[in-house]
A and B are shown apart, each in its own frame.
Chain A
Amino acid sequence: MPREFTPKVVTANTLLEGDVVYLTADDSWTRLLSEADILTDEADADLRLLTAESRASQVVGAYLADVSITDTGPEPTHFREEFRRTGPSNYFHGKQADLN
C-alpha cells in the first residue's frame, strides 16, 4: 500500500548567501516558513520541486520538507527544520536575528 502523502514545503538555500528559503505560492522565495506554500498533493509537490531545482541561479539543494498544518501556517515536524527556520541555538544568529 502506498504511504499516505503528508504536507510538505519546498525548501532550499540561496546561492549567494546560503540562507534557508521556502517556495511561495507565486513561485518566489521567502525566508519565512509561515509564507511558504503548503503542498498537499504528491504530484503537485514533485512538480514544484522540479521547478525549484531548475532555478539554479537562485538556490542550491532544493528538497521537500515535512510540515504540519496549523492555524498559524506550516510548522516543522522535525527538529532539523526547526533549526533551519530560526538559526543556531548557541547564538542569536541567522534568520532569528536577520528578520528583526
Chain B
Amino acid sequence: MYTYSEFDAAFVAERNRQFRAQVARRVDGSLTENEFKPLRLMNGLYLQLHAYMLRVAIPYGTLGSHQMRQLAVIAERWDKGHGHFTTRQNIQFNWPKLADVPDILDALGEVQMHAIQTSGNTIRNVTADHFAGAAADEVADPRPIAELIRQWSTDHPEFQALPRKFKVAVTGSPMDRAVTLAHDIGLRIVRRDGLIGYQVIVGGGLGRTPMIGKVLHDFLPEEDLLPYIEAVVSVWNSIGRRDNKFKSRIKITVHEHGVDDIRARVDLRYALIRPQFSGIDQQMLGAIRDDFRAPEFRVAPTDTYDAARKANPVFRAWADTNLAEHRAPGYAIVSISLKAHGETPGDATAEQMRVMADLAERYGHDELRISHEQNVILPHIHQSDLHAVHAALREVGLATANIGLISDIIACPGMDYCTLATARSIPIAQEIATRFDALKLEHEIGEMKIKISGCINACGHHHVGHIGILGLDRAGVENYQITIGGDGGADARLGDRTGPGFSADDIVPAIETIMLTYLKHRSNPSETFLAAYRRLGMAPFKTALYGEAEAAKAAKRKAVADVAA
C-alpha cells in the first residue's frame, strides 16, 4: 500500500497545526464565522442539522487495518460509536464537537489520513474501482494513477478556487465499478493492440442537472495523462461559469460549448503545458506502482471451502451473493454488506470496524476497501479462509447475504442529518430492506440497485439507480419521486420518471408494486429488472402505479409531445 512521504506527513501536520490555531481563534472570538467557515470547510468540517460533520477522505477507497482501527477509535472517542461510509469513498462522522476536531485530525494524521479537499471548490477525493488490484476482469490496477492524481491535485495552487467542486474517478476494468460516466472526469484504463492507455470522459455528473459524461479522448498514452487532465481542469477553470452556482460544474461547460469545442481548447492548452511536465511525474508513478505491488498470493488447497459450502447453506448463500472473482487462483474478493436489513446503509460501529480490520490483518493481506455502494471490501481472501471470515462477520452482524440485491441500497444522510435535505432517505431505505426481507422476495428479484437521495443534489446517486428515489418537500410534507431504468455501470444511463411522487407512507408499497410488476412480466427468471424495463418500457409500470386512466393520459401527452417535436 502507498505510504506517505515525509513531505506528505509534514504537510498534513502543518495544516492540522494551522487549523488548531484557527479553531482557537474562532472560539476566543478573534475570527468571525464568515472568516472561519471557509477555513473549516477546507478541512472537511461542515455544520449539519444537529451537529458538526467531519468528512474524511479514503483515497481510492483503499485503507489498511491500522487505519480502519483508528477510524474506530475516532468513532468511539469523539462520535457516537459509528462512522458513515459514503458513495465517494469517504467516511463521515456526524457528531464531532468543534474543539475536538483538531485532535481528530491529528489522530487521522497518525495513520496518514486527513480531511483536506473533502469540501470546497477543489479537486475532491479521487475514487476508484473498489475491486482494484484484485478483480479477475481488470486491465490494470487504477490506484497508482489515482494516487498520482491525488498528489498532483492536493494543494495544487491553480486549483484551490475552481468554479465548483471537481470529482475524478478511475476504473481499470471494463465492468465499470467506479461510475466514471457520472464524474467530472472519468478515466478508464483500456488496452489496445497490447498497449495500455486511458479513455478520458468528461462532463458527467448527477445533482440538479444529471448528465452522462462524454468521451474527450479515446486513447491517451499514460505519460500524457497528467498534463492532459491539467489542461482539462485549467480550461474549465478559465471558462467555467462562476455567475451561477447551478451552472458552474464542468458538465454545464461541456454542454454549453459542446465537447468538440472543449476538446479543441484542451488541445491548445495541452500543447502549452505539456513541456512543463519533464517526466518526473512518470518517475513518481513508477515509484507509486511499487507501493501497489500485489501481495504474495498463497497457493493452497481449496477443498475446505468446497466442503463448507456443501455443509452450511447459510455460508453458501452468503458466498453466492457476496463474493466476486479474484484474479489469483484460489482467492476471492469479499464484499461485506453494511446493509443489514433495517440498519442505516453505510454505517459501521466501532466494533464492526475493528472486526473488519482484524479480518483484513489475519486473512486479507492487511487490505480493506470502501465501495461507492457503501460497503466494505476484503479484496484478497484465500478460499480456505472464507468460512472463518464468514463466521467472524456473523458475530457482529456483518454477514448479510445481500450484495447487489434489493436491500443493498445506497442512501444519502437526508433530512436525518443534512442541512440541504428536503426529505429523509435513511428510514425509506430501512423500510424497503425490512419489507422485502419479510416478503422473502429478495433473491427471487435478483440484481437490483435502489438508490435514494434526500434532495436534488443526488448524493445517493438516485439518477443511476435501477430504481431511484428522490425525496422532495411538497408543501411541508415529505414526497418521493421514483425513476426507473437508471444504470451506473459501464453503459451508464439516467433513469426515467414514473410520474407523480408518493407520500412517505406510500413509497414502500409503490416499490413493491414495481417489483411485482417486474416479476409478472419478466420473460424468464434470468431476465433482470433492468433488462425487463428496457424491453417493456414504462407503460406496465405506470399502469401498475397509477392505474389505466393515468397511464393513458401520460401516453397521450407523450404522443402529442412527440408530434410537436
Q: Which residues of A contact B (CB under 8 A)?
A: 13, 15-20, 56-57, 60-61, 77-80, 83-84, 87-91, 93-95
Task: Knowing A15-B26, A89-B424, A90-B426 are in contact, say whether A80-B415 is a contact too (CB < 8 A).
Answer: yes
- Assess whether B77 is interfacial by the CB under 8 Å rule: no
Instruction: Report how far A65 CA is from B478 CA in the complex, Å.
Output: 18
Contact status A91-B27, CB under 8 Å: no
Question: Whole-angstrom distance between the alpha carbons of A13 and B33 in the complex?
Answer: 12
Min distance, Cβ A19 to any Cβ of chain B, angstroms: 7
CB-CB under 8 A from A94, the residues of chain B are 50-51
- Is the Cβ of A93 less than 8 Å from the Cβ of B95? yes
Any A CB within 8 A of the CB of B219: no
In the bound assembly, the distance between CA atoms of A39 and B427 in angstroms comes to 33
Query: Are B50 and A89 interface neighbours, CB within 8 A?
Result: no
A11 and B478 alpha carbons, distance in the complex (Å): 22
Counting chain B CB atoms within 10 Å of each CB, which of A15, A18, A20, A87 scores highest? A18
Residues in chain B within 8 A of chain A (CB atoms): 26-27, 29, 32-33, 47-52, 80, 82, 95, 97-99, 344, 415-417, 421, 424, 426-427, 430, 476-478
**Residue pair A83, B99 in contact (C-beta under 8 Å):** no
Report the bound CA distance from A79 to B33 in whole Å. Answer: 27
Tell me the minimal C-beta distance from B222 to chain A in angstroms. Answer: 44
- Beyond known contacts A77-B476, A88-B426, A93-B50: 4 more, CB 8 A cutoff: A80-B421, A88-B50, A88-B417, A89-B427
The reply to whether B50 and A20 contact each other, CB–CB distance below 8 Å, is: yes
| Min CB gap A51→B, angstroms | 16
A57 touches B29 (CB 8 A): yes
Q: Is the CB of B97 within 8 A of A16?
A: yes
B49-A20 in contact (CB<8A): yes
* Residues of B close to A57: CB separation below 8 A: 27, 29
CB pair A90–B427 under 8 Å, yes or no, is yes
Tell me whether A60 and B33 are in contact (CB under 8 A). yes
Contacts A17-B98, A89-B424, A91-B80 given; does A60 touch B47 at CB 8 Å: yes
Q: Which residues of A contact B417 (CB under 8 A)?
A: 88
Q: How far is the CA of A80 from the CA of B421 in the complex (A)?
A: 9
Give the Cβ gap from A33 to chain B, nearest Cβ, in Å. 14
Beta-carbon nearest neighbor of A59 in chain B: B33
Partner of B47, one of A13, A88, A90, A91: A13
Task: Tell me how far the C-beta of A22 lies from the nearest C-beta in chain B, rounded to whole angstroms.
Answer: 14
Give Cα A91 to B416, complex, Å: 9
Closest chain-B Cβ to A57's Cβ sits at a distance in Å of 5
Known A16-B99, A17-B98, A79-B477; contact A90-B50, beta-carbon cutoff 8 A = no
Are B32 and A56 in contact (CB-based, < 8 A)? yes
Q: How far is the CA of A61 from the CA of B476 in the complex (A)?
A: 21
Task: Enumerate chain B residues within 8 angstroms of A95, measured Cβ to Cβ.
Answer: 50
Q: Which residues of B contact A91 (CB under 8 A)?
A: 80, 82, 344
14 A-B residue pairs with Cβ-Cβ distance under 8 Å, sorted by A, are A15-B27, A16-B27, A17-B97, A56-B29, A56-B32, A57-B29, A60-B33, A61-B33, A87-B50, A88-B416, A88-B426, A89-B424, A91-B82, A91-B344
Q: List chain A residues, Cβ under 8 A from B80.
A: 91, 93
A residues within 8 A CB of B430? 90
Q: Which of B29, B33, B47, B344 is in CB contact (< 8 Å) with A18?
A: B47
**Contact between chains at B98 and A15 (CB < 8 Å):** yes
Q: Is the CB of B476 within 8 A of A78?
A: yes
In the bound complex, residues from chain B placing their C-beta under 8 Å from that of A60 are 33, 47
Chain B residues lying within 8 Å of A56, measured Cβ to Cβ, are 29, 32-33
For B427, list chain A residues within 8 Å (CB): 89-90
Q: For B426, give its contact among A13, A19, A89, A93 (CB under 8 Å).
A: A89
Set of chain B residues within 8 Å of A17, measured between Cβ atoms: 51, 97-98
In the bound complex, residues from chain A placing their C-beta under 8 Å from that of B415 are 79-80, 83
What chain A residues lie within 8 Å of B476 (beta carbons)? 77-79
**Measured CA separation A83–B416 after assembly (Å):** 7
* Alpha-carbon separation in the docked complex, A15 to B424 (Å): 25
Q: Which residue of A lies closest to B423 (CB)?
A: A79
A13 contact set on B, CB distance < 8 A: 47, 51
Instruction: Using A16-B27, A78-B476 as known contacts, say yes or no to A90 and B98 having CB atoms under 8 A apart.
Output: no
A13 to B47, CA, bound (A): 8
Judge whether A18 and B48 touch: CB under 8 Å: yes
Chain A neighbourhood of B426, CB < 8 A? 88-90
Contacts of B478 in A (CB 8 A): 79
Name B424's closest neighbour in chain A (CB-CB): A89
Q: Across the interface, which residues of B come within 8 angstroms of A78, CB to CB?
A: 476
Residues in chain A near residue B52, CB distance under 8 A = 18
Residues of A within 8 A of B99 (CB): 16
Residue of B nearest to A83 (CB): B415
Give the distance to chain A from B286, nearest Cβ to Cβ, in Å. Answer: 45
Once bound together, how far apart are the Cα atoms of A85 and B49, in whole Å? Answer: 10
Residues of the A chain whose Cβ atoms lie less than 8 Å from the Cβ of B477 = 79
Shortest C-beta distance, B350 to chain A (Å), equals 14
Give the nearest-CB partner of B46 in chain A: A18
Kindly provide the distance from the CB of A84 to the nearest chain B CB, expressed in whole angstroms: 6
* Bound Cα distance from A60 to B424, whole angstroms: 24
Q: Is B416 within 8 A of A90, CB to CB? A: yes
Shortest Cβ distance from B485 into chain A, in angstroms?
29
Q: Name B411's closest neighbour in chain A (CB-CB).
A: A90
**In this complex, what residue of A is CB-closest to B53?**
A18
**B140 CB to nearest A CB, Å:** 39
Q: Say whether A18 contacts B97, CB under 8 Å.
A: yes
